[in-house]
Chains A and B, each alone.
Chain A
Amino acid sequence: MDFMVFQYPMITVQACLDGILLGILFALIAYGMALQWGVMNIINIAQGDLVILGGYIAYFMYLYGIHPAWGVIVAPVIMYFLGVLIYKLVINKVVDRDLFISILATFGISILFMQLMNFAFGADVVLANSDYGTTMLFNNNVVLPNSKLFSAFISILFAICLVIYMKKSKLGRAIRATAQNARAAKILGVDTEKVYAATFGINAALCGVAGALISITFTIHPYMGLPYTIRSFMIVIVAGLGNLPGVAMSGMGLGVFEEFADYILGTEFRIGSVFLLLVLILVYRRFKLSRKREYLK
């Protein structure tokens, strides 16, 4: 245990800023998860692995001499088609089934992806260097890499574009209609199969963007997928489905929590604390709901 973080205010500021910038990225991934959860009612355990795969796309561009920031354009395009492919092969067979079946099936996809990435890219921790430099704040006491600012900016940009797209475009309307009532939407002429495929593709594309940004700002590793899935799941259940400001806020909250856990408990307990927080949140939610049930009785 190390409480230095409370004795020196600058470290607190640093942790908060880092956490918020990180949390915006989490919120972007969680937005994708909320989308597919709301529309198709499946929970995708492979979400985090899609993120890592997006990161590797940016990393490979970096290796071949292209600036990795272009990854935020290339990764979503590739990931969209990959997402549609996954949908056609696996997800469309589990959409109407028991939720546990979809969890297990996507768990299988997750293991598959993890290993394929391990073979293709090796088990090293890598990052794509963007050479953006750093910004110093408060008398050089707080260090902010510009890449983090860049990634937060791009995430917000993508989120805003997506929200506008969902509100205005024809496909966006079809997606929202399917989320509300798939059967009614079908009767009114919406091709729900296509909507599902597009939803999964958009989710994968969002993961691709987030992954590319993570490869620039942090590090990626083939086995780091599951924590991202758990984080986005946690953000969605805290915020609730279809609550965008809530997703953003709880994403940032989670980011700040993680940074403080990192400072106080030590880096080796960081992932553990995320998973423990998930358990605590679910248990809290269970007691809250059971009180509500008793009240209804």
Chain B
Amino acid sequence: MNKNNLILYSGILIFGLIAPFLFPAFKVQLSILCVLIVLATTWNIQGGEMGYNSFGNILFYGLGMYLCASVQVGMFFPLAEWTESGGEKTFVHTPAQFFQGMAVGLVVAAIVPTIIAGLIGYSILGLRGHYFAICTLGLGVAAGEISGGIEIIGAGQGFTTPPFPDVGSLEARGEFFYFLSFFTLILTFIAVRSIYSTRFKLILNAIRDNEDKAEAMGIETMKYKIIGWMISAFFCGLAGGIMGGLVGYIDSTDVAFDGREMGVFMVLMAILGGKGTLWGPIIGATIFHIFKEGFWTFFLGWQYVALGVLIVVIVIYFPEGIMGWLREKYPERFGEVVDEKDRKAQVELK
């Protein structure tokens, strides 16, 4: 790690730690931003590095959301009665119960989707290209529709997550969720960064560039594809669990398995920033979140129209993303040595 990187990372870390006190009104927005960055970064593991464009990571996100809330409630109270009564009116979590439940819930929310990703990975990741994209899209929507019919987790009327307990300070809830999501973000970043500096990333890139050749070179592509998907699922589940507590209410199709919104957002953020890069999804998510909040405030009601136009414009005119554009403009900064003679020769060839 060179000196510039050290300054950059410590700068971001310090900013992240003092941000909720600098902008107390934006705590919830900042927490959502952290979750969005986690989702975009983990989507990038398959979408960008592995070349498997998934619409289905929303499955793990929604699963994590339901699991975390169910565990948090189910550890202390009967789950069916909780969802029946709409939750908070009959049963109240003490602070100790709430935090214990949250901790166990988050562990479950991360582990179970990872296992599920491992189990279905062999069948799903054998699909190629657009079949994979459509199949994962179907998985996400199917999960939403089916969970909307299951009584014990609230069916169509939704699931109220346990309200934050009274610990004496009004700011406590926002700060708790902010730091939770911020530390998840740091964890994700460290994990992804260390993955990207190993041979594993090169294998993923080989799968993206030519899977058959990679297989012919003796790489067990299926194993690595499943591992890549499981890593995504782990962090998606974690992000979902936090988001469920943050929103405070889980609906099967509008909050948890929201393929139309969150499922597309994560793809869009990664593409906007530049897929296949470490910083791309982070930059993309930040810009997207600022832009989205601006739109959601000023064009209330028209936000989805704007979203549709935005998707089309980004995809058609900006498929390489911000990092791709920067890379084209300043190749030296990305460690690519441009040989003047070679470049000229290529221009002449064209």
Contacts and interface: CB of A to CB of B under 8 A. Distances in A.
Contacts of B305: 112, 115-116, 119
B145 A279 contact: no
A57 B71 CA distance: 48
A249 interface: no
Given A105-B312, A112-B308, A269-B145, A287 B123 contact: yes
Most chain A C-beta atoms within 10 Å of own C-beta, residue among B129, B142, B311:
B142
Interface in A259-277: 266, 268-269, 271-272, 275-276
Interface in B294-321: 301-302, 304-305, 307-312, 315-316, 319
A108 B315 contact: yes
A275 B141 contact: yes
Nearest to B253: A223
A237 B319 CA distance: 28
Interface stretch (B72-80, B132-140, B339-347): B132-140
A115 B305 CA distance: 6
A3 to B, nearest CB: 18
B307 A101 contact: no
A115 B307 CA distance: 10
A153 B124 CA distance: 39
Interface stretch (A11-19, A92-100, A168-176): A92-100
A77 interface: no
Tier of interface size on chain A: 35 or more
Given A94-B315, A111-B260, A112-B309, A103 B130 contact: yes
27 contacts: A43-B134, A90-B316, A94-B316, A99-B133, A100-B129, A100-B130, A103-B53, A104-B267, A104-B315, A111-B304, A111-B311, A112-B307, A113-B308, A119-B305, A226-B141, A230-B138, A233-B134, A237-B131, A272-B141, A272-B145, A275-B138, A276-B138, A278-B134, A279-B138, A282-B138, A283-B135, A286-B123
Interface of A: 43, 90, 93-94, 97, 99-101, 103-105, 107-116, 119, 226, 230, 233, 237, 266, 268-269, 271-272, 275-276, 278-279, 282-283, 285-287, 290
Q: List the 8 shortest-distance A-B pairs measured between CB atoms, nearest first.
A: A112-B308, A108-B311, A272-B145, A275-B142, A115-B304, A111-B308, A108-B312, A268-B149
